[in-house]
Amino acid sequence: MRDSFHDELDSITQTLVEMTMLVKQATQDATTALLTADLQLAEKVIAQDDRIDQIQHELDSRTMLLLATQQPVATDLRVLVTSLRMSADLERMGDMAHHISKLARMRYPATAVPSEASLTIEEMGRVAGLIIGKLAKIIENRNLDDAKQLAIDDDEMDKLHRKLIQSLISKDWPHGAESAIDLTLLGRYYERSADHAVSISRRIHFLVTGRYLQEKD
């Protein structure tokens, strides 16, 4: 039988999974808002970011309480310390969706993404959703093979990012510097979101094994 401390540890993991699903939804909504110039949806993502921040603070308070009262060691301690880190990464991934939505709002009623780039951005949004969905499962199951796989999915994101930048510096880019700036930032937001996901998957490796994997920069 499990004691209440371990029930609470499980519950913290469950909250991290829920937070991840919220971030996934925010990222997908932000992409839709961006590509379809949907102001209402952009506003929704922007408003919901506070909720994600709030979940992080609640999670951190619960984690601190367990650290203070339960003297955890070994895996239990790593679950708590890793939770503090994962919640920070997830909060930051929420910020990326927030930034994407703010750019969508800033350019409304136009769209920030000209047709030449919309397929690439759509793909970046799709891959981000895929990665974040897998991440939720990895946080839940702590499967190290799945965690490793995430770095490979991230290669796909990096490829799309390079493709985007390549299209901006091609001689045919007709949309001027402002649009190039928007797309440079958008590309970075998607890429960073995926990087944070990979970073979390490395923390899962640490949680399970107690050893660090080399960080990607």
DSSP symbol at 170: S
Q: Would you count residue 154 as binding its own copies (CB under 8 A)?
A: no
User: Would you say 57 or 141 has its CB closer to its own copies?
Assistant: 57
CB 99 → its own copies: shortest distance, Å?
Answer: 8
Q: Would you count residue 8 as binding its own copies (CB under 8 A)?
A: no
Please, what's the b/e burial string for 110-122 (b: 16 or more CB within 10 A of its CB; e: otherwise)? ebbbbebbeebbb
| Piece of 26-34, 111-119, 131-139, 162-170 that binds its own copies (CB under 8 A) | 162-170
Which of 93, 94, 97, 120 is CA-nearest to residue 194? Answer: 93
Q: Would you count residue 115 as binding its own copies (CB under 8 A)?
A: no
| Piece of 3-11, 26-34, 138-146, 168-176 that binds its own copies (CB under 8 A) | 168-176
Peptide bond preceding 174 in cis form (omega within 30 of 0): no
Q: Would you count residue 95 as binding its own copies (CB under 8 A)?
A: yes
User: Would you say 85 or 163 has its CB closer to its own copies?
Assistant: 85
**Cβ(55)–Cβ(146) under 8 Å?**
no
Rounded Cα–Cα distance for residues 207 and 137 (Å): 15
Q: How many CA atoms lie within 13 A of 44 on its CB side?
A: 16
Question: Which of residues 74, 109, 115, 145 is near its own copies by CB under 8 A?
Answer: 74
Q: How many CA atoms lie within 13 A of 214 on its CB side?
A: 2
CB 214 → its own copies: shortest distance, Å?
Answer: 9
**Cβ(186)–Cβ(100) under 8 Å?**
yes
**Cβ(56)–Cβ(85) under 8 Å?**
no
Question: Which of residues 73, 109, 115, 145 is near its own copies by CB under 8 A?
Answer: 73
Question: Which of residues 53, 116, 156, 158 is near its own copies by CB under 8 A?
Answer: 53
User: For binding to its own copies (CB under 8 A), which residues are involved?
Assistant: 49, 53, 57, 64, 67-68, 71-74, 77-78, 81, 84-85, 88, 91, 95, 98-99, 165, 168-169, 173, 176-178, 180-181, 184-185, 188, 212, 215, 217
